[in-house]
Amino acid sequence: MQNRLSELTQRLRRISSEEVDVSGEYPSFLSDIIHEGQLSLGIDCISVWLFDDINHPVKLINVANTDWPAGQVPSHFQTEDEEDPLAFYPSLKYTDFPIYFSAISSGVSIAANDAEQDESTLEFNGIYLQPNGITTMLDTVIFKNGIPLGVVCCEGRGGVREWSETEVAYAEMIADCCSRRLLVKELWQLQQKLRLLAFQDALTGLKNRRYLMDFTRREISRHLRNGSTLSAVMVDLDHFKRINDKYGHDVGDVVLRQFSECCLQILRTEDCLCRLGGEEFLAVLPATKLDDAATVAERLRAAVEALVIKHGALRLQITASFGVCEVELQQPFSQSLKLADNAVYQAKRAGRNCVVVV
């Protein structure tokens, strides 16, 4: 038996160490682990459930299940809700199963040989066990930093089963393997956030200069290949220093944010609006000729002039100066930046609140 256990655990360890794509849904990167566990334990189903909030759990959410199509989320669970992508996944509420939740929260494995009689699982009688033919359960806790994060639930439909210490230990290893995969998922999500922050202006949410250079490099290459025109519009808010001096930087920050939102409403999805720094911005307009870019700049100018900045009882109106140029595809992008910057300078000298095309 010891040799058999060693063989099974080594196989599980190898599977859990394999590199997987954690960018997708939970079933896609937990499927191999729970299916291996199902096969090794000779049971009918294994499912993974996670607390909605590790510190103050209200419910357990079923995120992976061997009864589901291999590595997939059933279509009726899927949602496009970015704030709560697990909104339609099966779940158990703490208030409905307080005894079970307390047992899981303690971190101790539940070996319910007879699920209908065991005090930790009898709350499921009539609701889950009988309708699904479940007669025995072995639930082991998934930990994160020593705190219960969820549970791996092993279920049998073949009558009462005496779970051995060896089987409990193996099921706990399944939970540990899931824990490692979930940690990899969390690290990946953190990397995506850091990557986003690296290319995003923290105040306005717009792309920053670093992103701009990467974006324009790709766009210049693409426009050279297809022979289309790329244009740029530089924007500089008029008398912004006066606003900061008179009302304070908090109001200045509000102005920058509301100005950015105003511009985004005018620009297309494929356009790239970046904050270069301070009150200076640049919009890169793919597949746009110079005359059309000038028209866009005028629309932006009018929208900004009509914008009423609201902050508490304060109401402000602002203007901006615009410089428009066609991007020189055969030259470094810095040359086009200089052209646009010179155009803005000319707009300032012409009295501000206007568009200059070069």
Separation between Cα atoms, residue 134 and residue 115, nearest integer Å: 8
pLDDT at 80: 52
pLDDT at position 158: 86
Q: Please report the pLDDT score of residue 198 as a whole number.
A: 85
Look at residue 193 in the predicted model and tell me its pLDDT: 84
Which residue matches tokens 């986003």?
Answer: 196
First-residue to last-residue Cα distance in the chain = 82
Alpha helices in the chain (DSSP H): 2-17, 26-41, 98-105, 129-132, 165-198, 209-226, 240-247, 249-266, 290-306, 333-349
Scan for tokens 């089963």, then name that residue.
161
Residue 30: name the closest of 43, 42, 48, 44 by CA. 48
Low-confidence ranges of the chain (pLDDT < 50): 1
Neighbours of 187 (CB within 10 A): 11
Distance CA 7, CA 1 (A): 10
Q: Which residues of 89-109 are buried (b: 16+ CB within 10 A; e: fewer)?
A: bebbebeebeebbebbeeeeb
- Model confidence, pTM: 0.67
Q: Which active-site residues does the annotation give?
A: 279
Query: How far is it, in rounded angstroms, from Cα 160 to Cα 293?
Result: 74
Instruction: Centre a 10 Å sphere on the Cβ of residue 164 and count the other Cβ atoms it contains.
Output: 12
* Token pair for 170: 């193996």
So what's the pLDDT on residue 7?
85
How many Å apart are CA 75 and CA 252, to the nearest integer?
A: 47
